[in-house]
Amino acid sequence: MKFTFAHNNLNVLDLEKSLDFYKKALGLVEVRRKEAPDGSFILVFLGDGVTSHSLELTWLKNWERPYDLGDNEFHLAFVTDDFEAAYALHAEMGCICYENTEMGIYFIEDPDGYWLEILPKR
């Protein structure tokens, strides 16, 4: 028996704001969408155009308060082929929330408070 990654899910309050953020900050684009017939939810799957792994953004119609992220010790990680340009973009966007210069990494925060680790290609 073998398992492979399919996707990760993040719930978001403002779907359009999140789609804009993920496209600008990480170059992720919509690859699939599912909308509930009754309008109660929308699922949007984002891809990087390279791997088959996707990020599912879930919007719930009746959810009105920020999601409780606990201690926010979970995160997704992204490797970039141009770390300096990525850092400059994220600094300009004002979304860098934590830097670990000793490890050569940093984290950005999405509109809902999720942390995303940025790694240089090694």
Assess whether 117 carries a catalytic annotation: yes
Q: For residue 60, is it left (φ>0), alpha (ψ between -120 and 50) or beta? A: beta
Q: What is the pLDDT of residues 64-90, one digit of tens each?
A: 999 998 876 789 999 999 999 999 999
Annotated active-site residue in 84, 92, 99, 117: 117
Contact 8, 28 (CB under 8 A): no
Q: Where are the domains of the chain?
A: 7-64+73-120
| pLDDT band of 108, cuts 50, 70, 90 | very high
pLDDT confidence tier of residue 15, bands split at 50, 70 and 90: very high
Does the domain formed by 7-64+73-120 have CATH 3.90.1570.30? no
Residue 72's pLDDT is 66
User: What are 9's two structure tokens?
Assistant: 């899910």
